[in-house]
Structure 1
Amino acid sequence: MLVLNAIIVDDEEFARSSLYFLLQENCENIQISGIAKSVTEARKLLAENKIDLIFLDIAMPGENGFELIPAAVQNNAHVVFTTAYDQYALKAIKANALDYLLKPIDIDELKETVIKATKYIGQNKLSAQQMNSQLTQLAENLADRSEIRKLNLPNGQGGYTLVNFNQIIHVEADSNYSVFHLSGMEKITVAKVLKEYEEILPENKFVRVHKSSIINLDYLKEYNSKNGLEVVLKSGVKIAVSRRRASEFAEKVKTYTNFRSDE
């Protein structure tokens, strides 16, 4: 198995020591090359060592974790964010298909993240250019903080496709996969459940109408109850609306329509 040189960056002593212990006990291919309690210390470790993987806390005094990103990109180091809060930051990380671990860190999630990182690094699927694009987009989202507008979707070819939210017509569940139907593009299938994207997509435009469907209200043409409640999209696709989601859907359409009329 490929051995990865890693560093842990966190200002809290307990968080540093507990993650170190979890990695030592459960991830035999991770070699801890250093532990830093600040971004300044982490930059020094990156300058002095060949680092493959960074476990990076977000909220730290002085410089926060995002300010280490330029050095991570320069050293082609894969980043796994660790965080206990700041829902906007977490949403932005998810939208850019970057790895993250919620504190307190779950052992199984840690193992899964390490396996994923090992695969990417070992096969050189995540190039420095791709990583830079993802992290740059993340920085833009975090700088704005009004609304996340773009989504990085793994394209099944070792890379990512950057998609504007307004390109997404609807998303459908296919077992443990999510299929994105896009305007002017081929559909993209992603190995993540629909629930993950329900949490990322803006609530003012996207609504889950069924356990297997999320639609973009920008592409809604009509809805009716001829054959049970269903929506018809501008693309001509018809999608059923489940009974338990009907009232929420109607309210979302009302709010969306009022918002559009005020523009």
Structure 2
Amino acid sequence: MLVLNAIIVDDEEFARSSLYFLLQENCENIHIAGIAKSVAEAKILLQENEVDLIFLDIAMPGENGFELIPSAIHNNAHVVFTTAFDQYALRAIKANALDYLLKPIDIDELQETVAKATRLVETNKFAQQQNREQLTLLAGYLDNRSEIRKLSLPNGQGGYTIVDFDDIINIEADSNYSVFYLTRKDKITVAKVLKEYEEILPDSKFVRVHKSSMINLDYLQEYNSKNGLELTLKNGVKIAVSRRRASEFAEKVKSYTNSRIDK
């Protein structure tokens, strides 16, 4: 059994102690190397210990949790965020396929996260490089709250494919999976529901046209209502627009077209 050295970083005593208890009782391969109530204390722990995993609160007085990211990158530590107060931050975290746990922390979700982290550490250098890339992307977004432009998609092989939003043509739901159709690859299938990506992708140009379909308006070629509302993408794919989403789709197309004219 691979043992992971972990630290807990949270300014609230109850949050620190409850997470410590949950890990001790439910995650036998986690060794708590230290507990910190601030980013400053966490940096000292990272200097003094080899750390595989950081459970990191975001909203803390003084330095917030994101300011620990450079140290996490330097130490090749995987990060699990343990709060969701900042909706922009949560969106950026989701876009980079990084783990987060909403408080109060659910035991099953905690165990799933620890299992995922264990698999990533086992894959060693490849996972470390991807972890650095994802954390670097996240740090860049959070540093100046710039527009989120890239998405990390789990590729089913223990790693991730980083995709630019502009390269996504459309996404199709397939039960509990989402199939991404891209400009540079045929497709990538991800074990997440379409709604998760609907919450991440910018609604200025990504629109849900059916319960099982979302498109990038950059690739919309035409649409008509001869046999029910149907659209055609620039790659030739035809997609039906559901009746209940027809008015929203028309409004989105209008807003998108006006924004392109203004530019």
Separation (CA, whole Å) in 2 of partners of 1:146 and 1:246: 31
Matching residue of 1:181:
181
Q: Which amino acid aligns with 2:165?
A: F
Residue 144 of structure 1 deviates from its aligned partner by: 3.4
Separation (CA, whole Å) in 2 of partners of 1:98 and 1:83: 13
Sequence identity (%) = 79
Residue 242 of structure 1 deviates from its aligned partner by: 1.2
Separation (CA, whole Å) in 2 of partners of 1:213 and 1:43: 45
Matching residue of 2:42:
42
Tell me how many residue pairs correspond in the alignment: 263
Q: Is the Cα–Cα contact under 8 Å of residues 4 and 118 in structure 1 kept in the other structure? A: yes
State TM-score, norm by structure 1: 0.95
Residue 31 of structure 1 deviates from its aligned partner by: 1.5
Separation (CA, whole Å) in 2 of partners of 1:232 and 1:101: 39
Residue 126 of structure 1 deviates from its aligned partner by: 5.0
Q: Which amino acid aligns with 2:164?
A: N
Matching residue of 2:215:
215
Q: Is the Cα–Cα contact under 8 Å of residues 125 and 158 in structure 1 kept in the other structure? A: no
Which aligned runs of 4 or more in structure 1 are off by greater than 4 angstroms?
none
Q: Which amino acid aligns with 1:178?
A: S
Residue 235 of structure 1 deviates from its aligned partner by: 0.6
Residue 177 of structure 1 deviates from its aligned partner by: 1.3
Matching residue of 1:252:
252
Once the two structures are superposed, the pairs formed by residues 218-229 of structure 1 within 5 Å of their partners are 218-229=218-229
Q: Is the Cα–Cα contact under 8 Å of residues 231 and 240 in structure 1 kept in the other structure? A: yes
Q: Deviations over 1:148-193 (max 9, x none)?
A: 1111112233332221111110011112111111112231111111
Q: Deviations over 1:214-252 (max 9, x none)?
A: 100110111112222111101100111111111111111
SS of aligned partner of 1:116: helix
Matching residue of 1:139:
139
Q: Is the Cα–Cα contact under 8 Å of residues 220 and 234 in structure 1 kept in the other structure? A: yes
State TM-score, norm by structure 2: 0.95
Q: Which amino acid aligns with 1:33?
A: A
Q: Is the Cα–Cα contact under 8 Å of residues 210 and 245 in structure 2 kept in the other structure? A: yes
SS of aligned partner of 1:102: coil
Separation (CA, whole Å) in 1 of partners of 2:22 and 2:244: 42
Q: 5+ unaligned residues in a row in structure 1: which ranges?
A: none
Q: Is the Cα–Cα contact under 8 Å of residues 125 and 159 in structure 1 kept in the other structure? A: no
SS of aligned partner of 1:248: helix
Separation (CA, whole Å) in 1 of partners of 2:232 and 2:102: 38
Separation (CA, whole Å) in 1 of partners of 2:248 and 2:24: 47
Q: Deviations over 1:60-117 (max 9, x none)?
A: 1121111111221222111111113100000000101111111221222112111111
Matching residue of 2:3:
3
Q: Is the Cα–Cα contact under 8 Å of residues 55 and 82 in structure 1 kept in the other structure? A: yes
Matching residue of 1:58:
58
Matching residue of 1:197:
197
Q: Is the Cα–Cα contact under 8 Å of residues 150 and 165 in structure 2 kept in the other structure? A: yes
Q: 5+ unaligned residues in a row in structure 2: which ranges?
A: none
